[in-house]
Amino acid sequence: KNEVEQSPQNLTAQEGEFITINCSYSVGISALHWLQQHPGGGIVSLFMLSSGKKKHGRLIATINIQEKHSSLHITASHPRDSAVYICAVHPWGTQGGSEKLVFGKGTKLTVNP
């Protein structure tokens, strides 16, 4: 079983819809990242969070440390939001922290006009 699981694997939406992508993890972590990968392959960091909620434009990321779960929400989705969204965590190592990331397999989002 992967340490980081994302759902759904694929998601198709109509422009304007509210979108939720979920991430569950099985290890203790110091932080969680949400990343966006466009078809060309480049990756952009959207959020890094360790508690609560962060908002940037139409994107909102939440995390529940006790439940080991995070969600990425996109409000008023647009075709340009079409990309692969990747969840990654910093697991705690035996030394009490780690700079290494463990990645989920990604959620492919397609937003149709």
Q: Work out which of 2, 10, 14, 51 binds other proteins, going by CB under 8 A.
A: 2
* Site membership for other proteins, residue 97 (CB under 8 A): yes
Scanning residues 50 to 79, which ones bind other proteins (CB under 8 A)?
none
Give the range of 19-27, 42-50, 60-68, 75-83 binding other proteins by CB under 8 A.
42-50
DSSP character for 79? G
Contact criterion met (CB below 8 Å) for 32 and 88? yes
* Site membership for other proteins, residue 91 (CB under 8 A): no
CB of 89 to other proteins, least distance (A): 11
* Site membership for other proteins, residue 42 (CB under 8 A): yes
Burial 66-104 (b: 16+ CB within 10 A, else e): eebebbbbbeebeeebbbbbbbbbbbeeeeeebeeebeb
Q: Work out which of 7, 15, 18, 43 binds other proteins, going by CB under 8 A.
A: 43
